[in-house]
Structure 1
Amino acid sequence: MIIAYRGGNFVTENKRPSYGNVSHSLDILLFFREHEECSLGELAEMLDLRKSYLLKLLDNLKEKGFLSLDTTTGKYRLGLSCLELGNAYEQRLDIRKVSHPDLVQLSSKTNELVHLGVMDSNIVVLLERIMNQESGLRLQFHLSLTSPPYSTGLGKVLLAYSDQEVVENYLSTKELIPYSPHTTIEPNMIRVELEQIRNKGYYLSFETFESGISCLAAPVFSRHGKIAAAVSICAPTVRIMSKEKELVTHLLETTSNISNILGHNSPFEIK
């Protein structure tokens, strides 16, 4: 209740809270996540708002560029400001910062060594390494800060979701040497493995980089469905094999959550 002074007298007024307009404006924008276009009447019915009130909100959103109006059909759709806002959000995302809490949680749940890696000029670059004291692995025993993609779980996953032209150029020009007796170096076999990864959504790397050490790896996707990074769990082979299903579940929960934060609708599922 507001007390005002008018014409020599104090009067009381009831003032409607302003946050209702903001909430309804956000409801309108969220509505267009699932609908390409909609008329004033359809919006009023679906959002249960008065047309006169709704029109003011639509005009404000249109003025700011968040909605556009097709004057021929009389239907509204999202405007360029939504795209600009989404791009600004994406550019400010630091995948290391975004993924760190989930990687720490993954290491804590599994009691194993966890890695986050990206591909840069046909080299896997480690961005993050979470060491759990219970894992028993020492850092010098597995993976340097960079490694060739054909030799590791991270690398195979990053290759699997890279552009086909990039993969073919890599397999036809790079010398592939074995790091262990289980490293695949035959290009056609690698192509088969990459197809299997895309079908399953994750990869079990059986001692491909170092004897006695295996890992499970899965992709992280960006808003546009492009691969942004890969996450792996590394452990002695006996532990990986004995609890593979449990580890895969935790791994895919983690990569799905990070992908969702990056703007990709990535439901968690094990194929």
Structure 2
Amino acid sequence: MAESSSVQSLDRAFDLLELLCKSRNGMSIGALSAETGLHKSTVHRLLSSMCMRGYVQRDAATSIYRAGMRLCELGSFVMENMDVVERARWPMDHLSRETEETVHLVMREENDIVYIHKVESDHGAIRMFSRIGMRRPLYCTGVGKAILATWPDKEVHALWQESDIKPWTAHTIVSEDAFFHELERVRRLGYALDDEENELGVRCIAAAIPDYRGRASYAVSVSAPISRMSDERIGLLRGPLLQACDEIAAALGGSMSRG
């Protein structure tokens, strides 16, 4: 009997928490009681317990309750503990087989991207110089531009100011105005290009893997020698690349808003 009562209390607490998470301006005890059908004293008791643990916050001036930051803290742990590479492995393998090109997965770390997984293509004799663990600045890579295109302009500007902007090749974008113009193009098309900006002779098409907020810390690219990456080929690669990114985003509980 006690166990059944405990489970019922847990269910009720989750009902209240979910309502508060979805409420933009918070809710009063009366509103929560009316919405759930629970007695006000029950609502107050459950909210008091959740307030003590940081899952709910109470505005002392208005007696309005809101979801607490403890949820965000735990959510960040969940995201960090997810094995992104494992969830990305099959879509990347499929993308490499379909395109017959090398596919990379990167993560953002401070002002850089870090290669965390690579599927090497058997097509042709040329091998990409990239390797797992290699770092490159966000601004001079297709994957970096794809990630930054999901950020607010204010944050991109701050990162640009903090970065050591220099030309990795003759094609690297080193003007902030030109870079923001490039990000607008990425947002419009849904993918980014690396036109020999990081490695001469190599062209990449890249797309971000948005999280549940639409913001990205990971991206996938398809890379090949420029001889195999004409504008027409880029157009053909767009669909399979975005499909792979959407599959990975879905596995991670992220956003899939692109067409």
Q: How does 1:230-245 map to 2 (within 5 A)?
A: 230-235=219-224, 236-237=228-229, 240-241=233-234, 243-245=236-238
Please report how far the alpha carbon of residue 66 of structure 1 lies from its aligned counterpart in structure 2 after TM superposition: 2.6
What's the counterpart of residue 77 of structure 1? Answer: 66
Structure (1 or 2) with the greater strand fraction: 1
Aligned residues: 242
Partner of 1:141: 128
For 1:70 and 1:150, the matched residues in 2 are separated by: 42
Runs of 5+ consecutive residues of structure 1 not aligned to the other structure: 3-13
Rounded to whole Å, the distance in 2 between the matches of 1:170 and 1:70 is: 41
Larger CA Rg, structure 1 vs 2: 1
Q: CA deviation at 1:37?
A: 1.6
Aligned partners of 2:41 and 2:216: how far apart in 1?
45
Q: Distance in 2 between matches of 1:64 and 1:241?
A: 51
Deviations 1:139-167 (A, max 9, x none): 83353434455553223334554621432
2:42 is the counterpart of 1:53: yes
Supply the distance in 2 between the matched residues of 1:215 and 1:139 (Cα, whole angstroms).
14
Match of 2:183 in 1: 194
Percent identity (aligned): 21
Does the 8 Å contact 2:92/2:244 carry over to 1?
Answer: no
Distance 2:172 2:21 in 1: 44
Contact 1:106 1:114 in 2 (8 A): no
- How is 1:100-179 mapped onto 2 (pairs within 5 angstroms)? 100-110=85-95, 111=97, 112-119=101-108, 123-131=112-120, 136=123, 140-144=127-131, 145-147=134-136, 149=138, 151-158=140-147, 160=149, 161=151, 163-167=156-160, 170=163, 173-178=165-170
Q: CA deviation at 1:207?
A: 5.6
Alpha-carbon RMSD across the aligned residues, in angstroms, is 3.8
- Contact 2:55–2:71, Cα closer than 8 Å, also in 1: no
- Is this contact kept in 2: 1:152–1:205, CA < 8 A? yes
**What residue in structure 2 maps to residue 228 of structure 1?**
217
Q: Deviations over 1:185-220 (max 9, x none)?
A: 563644432331133332134565353x54321234
Please give the TM-score of this superposition, normalised by the length of structure 1. 0.68
TM-score, with length taken from structure 2 = 0.71
- Cα shift readout 1:11-49 (whole Å, capped 9, x = no counterpart): xxx984421110110111111111132122211221232
Q: Say if 2:56 and 2:66, in contact at 8 Å, map to a contact too.
A: yes
2:103–2:222 Cα contact (<8 Å) kept: yes
Quick check: 184-193 or 197-206, which moved more?
Answer: 184-193
Instruction: Give the secondary-structure state (helix, strand or coil) at the position aligned to 1:54.
Output: helix
